[in-house]
Amino acid sequence: MQNITNAYLTFGAYDVIAEIQTNDQDEFEKAIATIRKLSRVVSTMTLNVIASE
């Protein structure tokens, strides 16, 4: 997927941690919605990082 900058396979509560980078919140929400529609995705947890300047 174009907005995923990194993905890590893990052991434990989560199978994959994906880093998604977008230009705005709307684009971010569309990327999350696309992931949630994948047939093998049972659940997701989303955490937004707020850039500090």
pLDDT for res 9: 96
Q: 53 pLDDT exceeds 80?
A: no
pLDDT in tens, 1-19: 889 999 999 999 889 999 9
Q: Go through the chain and tell me how many residues it has.
A: 53
Checking phi first, is residue 19 left (phi over 0); if not, alpha (psi -120 to 50) or beta? Answer: beta
pLDDT in tens, 21-50: 999 889 999 999 999 999 999 999 998 887
pLDDT for res 21: 92
CA distance 2 to 28: 11
pTM exceeds cut of 0.85: no
Q: 51 pLDDT exceeds 80?
A: no
